[in-house]
Amino acid sequence: MADNQSQILPERQLKELEKSILDFMHTHGYTESATVFARESNNEGFIAGPTDRHHNLLAKKWTSVIRLQRKIIELESKLSKQAAELPISKANSLAAGEWLPRPPARTKLTQHRSPITRVRFHPQYTQLATASEDMTVKLWDSESGDFERTVKGHTNTVLDVAFDSKGAIMVTCSADLTLRVWDTTADYKCIRTLHGHDHCVSAVCFLGSDRLASVSRDRSIKIWDLSTGFCVKTLTGHDEWVRSVDVTSDSRLLCTASNDQSVRLWDPNSGECKADMRGHTNVVETARFAPPNTYASLRRLAGLPPSTDAAPGLFVVSGSRDKTLCLWDTASAQLLHTFVGHDDWVRDFCFHPSGKTLISVSDDKTMRIWDLATGRCSKTIPASQHFTTCIDFSSVSPLVATGSVDTEVSLWACR
């Protein structure tokens, strides 16, 4: 029997098991059995004292196994429930493409101690990263709302968070003048700190898999080599604080928004400014390239003829403190449409996966849903008790997250 068992357990673990069994026998009065077992297992004379690590070890292990079994049963139950819902989700995939956030918020996440600056969903898992003026990034299970961990390292407000396409790397930037690179597969260990900006770093995005683009209050755009952490290029042209940065899916173009009331297009390889788009009358908080699945609606909105051209970067949308969002043609640098409806600064927005709507948030404490084909606000949702600062749409499940100055993050189910 010992020979068979030794094939399963290493010698050290086998001896620990034998001593734990002996302790159990002695503790519960199985004296004769203990004597025989001690002799056959070559453990004669062994009696575990109260401080011996083998004392009560068998009972503790047994209790742990029961807890694990219960957890497994709970997880299997959840998995079965999700599997049962999956056919329904597939059957309603067309309808799901039209799903929009519905009040009230499904979950409120409340562990931050200062205003929320950014919410960002993981690209592949049901995980949400939230950044705050409290100098931390917190990670949550976006389905259950359970808190997972706090990522610490910055020494001032964390202003932006970005994941690479696989979600293996997370990058954060801060008012402490640095960017930090975190390995999500190694318990979010900080693997690199990037120094080079002379003022707070406002925003960051991945430029392909091996480069980053960041913008700063120092009025510059910097391109970084992710593997070395070196700044390989600095782009200049904005006259004031650069607030946001976005990149086309082919990494061919960058767009930036600034306090100088402009939206600019850049070639990240040559450093050339390709366009300077002006029309806002106040600080431009954010600008993003419209995804190709929005082009049909945007062309209709702008009165442009239909086209099959789906090249990345044809249109940009920007949001400003002048309370509007603007649609720009990147080829001509012309303003095509102005979305009017918010009563205060527009702070952030995201495109709906259907390509038919845009969702924006504002200091007027609302989340507004815009029909991209007509330019009209189709729905206004009270989003928070204070200024609503940021928004993101999950690529994994029909969820929207918003963050606010009141330190709360809200998760909105779309249906």
| Mean per-residue pLDDT, 37-51 | 87
* Of 167, 162, 121, 168, the residue nearest 143 (C-alpha): 121
Question: Contact 315/63 with Cβ under 8 angstroms?
Answer: no
Phi and psi angles of residue 371, each rounded to the nearest 5 degrees, phi first: -80, 115
Predicted confidence at residue 2, as pLDDT, reads 45
The token pair at 21 is 């069994």
Sign of the torsion formed by the C-alpha atoms of 141, 142, 147 and 151: positive
CA distances from 241 to 93, 157, 202, 312 (A): 42, 16, 9, 26
Q: Helix-strand-coil percent breakdown of the chain, rounded to 5?
A: 20, 40, 40
Predicted confidence at residue 45, as pLDDT, reads 85
The length of the chain is 415
pLDDT digits (tens, 9 = 90+) for 275-320: 999 999 999 999 999 999 999 999 999 999 999 999 999 999 999 9
Does the pLDDT at position 258 exceed 70? yes
First to last CA, the chain: 60
Rg (CA), the chain: 28
Task: Round the average pLDDT of the chain to a whole number and report it.
Answer: 92
| Mean per-residue pLDDT, 206-220 | 97
Structural domains of the chain, ranges and CATH numbers in brackets: 2-55 (no CATH), 101-413 (2.130.10.10)
Predicted confidence at residue 304, as pLDDT, reads 96
CA distance 243 to 238: 10
| Mean per-residue pLDDT, 105-132 | 97
The token pair at 117 is 């600056």
Q: How many CA atoms within 13 Å lie on the side-chain side of 112?
A: 31
Predicted confidence at residue 31, as pLDDT, reads 87
77 or 152: which leads in pLDDT: 152
Predicted confidence at residue 34, as pLDDT, reads 87
* Of 28, 34, 24, the residue nearest 54 (C-alpha): 24
- Ramachandran bin of 319, using left for φ above 0, alpha for ψ from -120 to 50, beta for the remaining angles: beta
In the chain, % of residues over pLDDT 90: 77
Q: Which of 42-56, 92-106, 117-131, 382-396 has the lowest mean pLDDT?
A: 92-106
- Beta-bridged to residue 207, according to DSSP, are 211
60 or 381: which leads in pLDDT: 381
Does the pLDDT at position 245 exceed 80? yes
Predicted confidence at residue 380, as pLDDT, reads 98
Predicted confidence at residue 29, as pLDDT, reads 87
* Of 283, 313, 284, 286, the residue nearest 298 (C-alpha): 313
CA distances from 223 to 145, 270, 291, 393 (A): 35, 11, 23, 26
Outline where 92-233 has alpha helix (H): 93-96
* Of 287, 285, 294, the residue nearest 357 (C-alpha): 294
Q: Which of 6-20, 149-163, 387-401 has the lowest mean pLDDT?
A: 6-20
Predicted confidence at residue 83, as pLDDT, reads 61
pLDDT digits (tens, 9 = 90+) for 75-103: 777 676 666 655 444 434 434 457 999 99
Does the pLDDT at position 172 exceed 70? yes
In the chain, % of residues over pLDDT 70: 93
CA distance 181 to 172: 7
Does the pLDDT at position 326 exceed 80? yes
pLDDT digits (tens, 9 = 90+) for 344-373: 999 999 999 999 999 999 999 999 999 999
Does the pLDDT at position 1 exceed 60? no
Q: How much is the pTM?
A: 0.78
